[in-house]
Every structure is written in structure tokens, then in C-alpha cells.
Structure 1
Amino acid sequence: MRVVVAGSSGLIGTALVAKLRHGGDEVLRLVRREPQAPDERQWDPPAGAVEEGTFDGVDAVVNLCGAGIADRRWSQARKQVLLDSRVEPTEVIAAAVAESGVPVLVNGSAVGYYGTIPAGPADEAEPAGRGFLAELCVRWEAATETARRAGARVVLARTAQVIAPSGGLLGPLRPLFALGLGGKLGDGKQYMPWIHLDDEVDALAFLVHEDIAGPVNLAGPTPATNAEFTRAFGRAEHRPAPFRVPRAALRVAVGDFADEILRSQHLVPKVLQDNGFPFRYDTVDDAITAVEQR
């Protein structure tokens, strides 16, 4: 297949490009700067412009655009960046998919769509929740509508927290655990959806090739609480995790993002499971152990 990937330089995008190419797919990468390689095509989302011919003969587009959710403390200005970096590029891609007749769009989204799920396990049938991330995801997913109306198979890939050797969920936690300052967030009872990077990219490639449409939870098959995650990471790092980080301290550190961190989301990846997707890592212990051994 000929696949265009937007957001190809990020943690997930870089791994996905390698995965698709290893499987025999041809990959073109959208870049905002002047192209420097034969596989790069330039685009300018604010201008609504894409290099002519980019989508000719393309079988699928994967859109992973978006500024990092947890990269900086949340302020009103940062929230606007998070929104603009997702909705506007998605509208441009959806319009190009529709105009060029591309048959498949796999569009990034997040489990933040669901807001708080006080009781579970819940699956993709769960309605949108409340809060900034939920509202962002609703608008992000709605931006694909032009492609869907044109007949494209649109997948809304709602990704959980990614466990990876570098970056992802574990990146900012390692220094704290190394100093013996690791601990559960709040009371630790909240469910925290997770997925190993290998399963994330395998799932995205799976969704490119399989006849699946609509929302899909990209999350590990065994839900875990924050306390369970903290214990697993502490064991893998050979460091105790005795502390508890209260809500007030989180708000000082990350602003309004604290409210999102402490939401409980007891989610399962029903669509992937129903379609026979083979997860490599069944539990958060498996995922963290595999990462720490690399």
C-alpha cells in the first residue's frame, strides 16, 4: 500500500513509519519545512496547502498531528495550542482525502474523549465525557467528517498513555523514581489506560489494512489503576515508590492538566479484541518490564 503519514517525526509516528515500511508499504511523510528527502511532501496546515500530487495513488492516510499533551504546564494559551495543532491540520487532511478519493483515513485521537468513567470496564460505545480533553477530542474527531462523507473508511484511533523506552509516559517519571521520589497520583485508585509503543504501532498498522471504521480504543487489554502502575514501575526501576502526590501539588506542577491525570478511565479495547488483534503485552507489568529491559 501507499500510505501518507502526518506527524511522522513524533514518538509514535517514527515507529509507525518503520513498521509500515518493514511490512512492505510505501510511506510518504508530510513535513512543514522544505522537503529534504525523496519520501517527504510539504504542507502548510494554516494555509490549507498541501504539495500538489501528494495524495495521488494513495491508499491510506494516517494523521498523528498534535502538540504534546503533557509537554508543558497547561494555561489557556497552551490549551489553544493543543486544540489548534489538532483540529486545523485534521480539517486540511480530511478535505484532501475527500478531494483525492483516498479510501482510508486513520486519524489520531485519545482516550481523553471519554472524560471520567466512574464504573467500568467501558468500551468504544461509551459517550463523550466532560472536560477540556474530552471537548478537544470531540472537535478533533469531528474534523474528519469531510472524509467520511466522501466515502472514506475513517478510523478514530483513541490512544491511551504510551509506555515506551524513551519519551511517552515513563520519560518524565524516571528521574523522580531514580531519586526515590516516585509515588501514586492522588489516592491511586483511578484507572489509567496504557499501551506499549509496540502494540500502539502494530494496532495502527492493523487499522490501516483491516476493514474497521469508527472509534477504536488503543489501550492495553488489562486495565490498571495508577497505584498498580506505580508499583510495577517501582519494581522495574528497583526503587521504592512510597509517596503520594496530592491534587494540590499536581495543580501547581501541571496546571489544569491535574484534573485530567486524576480522572478514572476503566477502558477496554473491545474493537481490537473483537477483530482478533494480537497484543504483545497483556498487563502493565509486562509492558514496563519489556521497556526497562531494552
Structure 2
Amino acid sequence: MQILITGGTGLIGSHLIPRLLELGHEVTVVTRTPDKARALFDPKVTLWKGLSEHNNLDGFGAVINLAGEPIADKRWTESQKQRLCQSRWQITERLVEMFKASQTPPAVFISGSAAGYYGDLGEVVVNEDEPPHNEFTHKLCARWEQIACGAQSEQTRVCLLRTGVVLAPKGGILGKLLPIFRLGLGGPMGDGRQYLAWIHIDDMVNGILWLLDNDLRGPFNMVSPYPVRNEQFSHALGHVLKRPAFMRAPATAVRLMMGESSVLVLGGQRALPKRLEESGFGFRWYDLEEALGDVVR
């Protein structure tokens, strides 16, 4: 199958593309910097510099949309919030236009979202039917999903990836935490009671392949079946690294440092992958400490 991918140089895309090639798919990656991207990918990967020179998606069997400005890299000033939104909304709008302009549109559109869609719901167990808490992350994701659903038709099914915290060897949350924890300076954030919905990168990639190959549509929580509290996560990471993990970061200090974006670490979602499991998908990584051990090694 010919597959078009946006955000292919990101954390998920960089692990997904080699798997797609192994399975015999032909991959085209949309990137702003083809010269830099060329060094990252197998020569068999085709590179497009943006979408402006292309009018439709004829010839592609699937589109996987993972593009977006990293959400936790900078404080959420008003201008940064606009960048976070537009980096997701604009490319998704363009892809939907290309779906509609195609004589034979791709059969599936797998488009990014996040567990942040639900906002901070505290102790509430969250599946795909749970009403969200109306905060910035929900507004960003809800509009993103709404735009993506514009590609749905008799020929095209749309799957939405409500992704949790992805555990991978390089980048993501562990790219920020490992240096701190290795120094023995890690620990819980705030009271540590907030839930963290996590997923191992292998399960994330396998979940996307599952949605690609099965006749499924709608939102899917891309998270492990066993979310943990922040303090449990800190303890598990410290144990894997054989380092103490009791240097608690007070909520006030986190809010001063991160501003509004502190909700990403002081809040959370007790999200479960209800629809993914009901469809028959089997997770490889259930136990957090085993998953962290695998990733760290």
C-alpha cells in the first residue's frame, strides 16, 4: 500500500516508518526540510516538501497525520498556543481538501489527537465516551478531530489517535526526565496523585498498524490498559535506574516554571483503551516498570 505520512520525523513517525517498510508498504513523508529528513530515512522513502505542490491523494491507500508543534517544549503564551493549534489544524485542513479533491481517495485517514482531549478529569475513569473537561488541551484536540472527520466518506474511514504519554528510548517525556532521574534528582510532581496515561512506543506503532489493517473508525485512546499515578511512575523510573526518586517538585514551583502548561504534569487522565481492546487488539506492555526497563535498556 502507498501511505502518506505527516510528522514522520517525530517520535512516533520515526518508529512507525521502518515498520511500514518492513511490511512492504511504500511510504511518502511530508516534511519542511527534505535535506535533513533524507539522512533519517531509508532511501526507499519518498519525500515531499510540503503539500502546496500537490492537489489530491489519488494513488495513496492511507494517510497518517502525526504533524504538530511539540506541546510541552515551551510555555503557553498566547502566541505559542496559536502555534500549537495552527500547526495541527492547518495541515489537517489541507489534507481534508486533498481527500475531497481525489477521484479515488485513500481508504483510511489516521489522524493525531491526544488524551488531553478529555482535559484534567482527576479520578474519573476515562474511555472514549467520557464527556471532556473544557480547557485548552480539549479545545485544541476537539477542533483537530472535527477537521479530520471532514475526510470521512463512503470511500474513507477516519480514525483518531487520542495518544497518552509515549515511552520511547529517545525523545518524548523520557528525553526530559532521564537526565534528572539519573542524577538522583527525580521525583513526583505536585502531590503525585494525578494519573498518567502511558503507552510503550511498540504498542503505539502496533496500534496504528491495527487501525490501518482493520475496518475501524472513530476515536481510540492510545494508552496502556493500566494508567498509573505520577508518584507510581516516578518510583518505577527510579527503581529501573537504581536511583532515588523522592525529590518532589512542589506544585507552586511547577506552575511558576511552566505557567498554564503545568496542567500537562499536574493534571492527567485515567484513560483506558476501551475501543482498541474491544476491537481485538492485544497489548504487549501492561506493566509500567517492565516497559520502562525495556525502553531504558
Provide the TM-score with structure 1 as the length reference.
0.93
Rounded Cα–Cα distance in structure 1 between residues aligned with 2:53 and 2:255: 40
Q: Where does 1:68-107 land on structure 2 (aligned, <5 Å)?
A: 68-100=70-102, 101-107=105-111
Aligned length: 288
Q: Does structure 2 conserve the Cα–Cα contact (< 8 Å) formed by 1:98 and 1:150?
A: no
RMSD, matched Cα:
1.7
Which letter does structure 2 place at the counterpart of 1:146?
Answer: G
Q: Does structure 2 conserve the Cα–Cα contact (< 8 Å) formed by 1:62 and 1:107?
A: yes
Question: Unaligned 5+ residue runs, structure 2?
Answer: none
Shift in CA distance, 199/57, structure 1 to aligned 2, threshold 3 Å: same
The aligned residue for residue 14 of structure 1 is: 14
Rounded Cα–Cα distance in structure 1 between residues aligned with 2:25 and 2:273: 26
Which letter does structure 1 place at the counterpart of 2:47?
Answer: E
Specify which of 220, 227, 242 is matched with residue 224 of structure 2. Answer: 220
Rounded Cα–Cα distance in structure 2 between residues aligned with 1:175 and 1:233: 12
The aligned residue for residue 285 of structure 1 is: 289
The aligned residue for residue 235 of structure 1 is: 239
Identity %: 39
The aligned residue for residue 54 of structure 2 is: 51
Shift in CA distance, 31/192, structure 1 to aligned 2, threshold 3 Å: same
Give 3-state SS (helix, strand or coil) of 1:106's partner. Answer: strand
Question: Unaligned 5+ residue runs, structure 1?
Answer: none
Deviation at 1:102, TM superposition (A): 1.8
Which letter does structure 2 place at the counterpart of 1:29?
Answer: V
Which letter does structure 2 place at the counterpart of 1:220?
Answer: S
Deviation at 1:22, TM superposition (A): 1.0
Rounded Cα–Cα distance in structure 2 between residues aligned with 1:2 and 1:189: 44
Question: Which range moved further: 76-85 or 106-115?
Answer: 76-85
Deviation at 1:212, TM superposition (A): 0.9
Rounded Cα–Cα distance in structure 2 between residues aligned with 1:285 and 1:34: 38
Question: Which range moved further: 91-100 or 113-122?
Answer: 113-122
Rounded Cα–Cα distance in structure 2 between residues aligned with 1:221 and 1:272: 10
What do residues 70-91 of structure 1 show as CA deviations (whole Å, max 9, x unaligned)? 1122222211111110001110
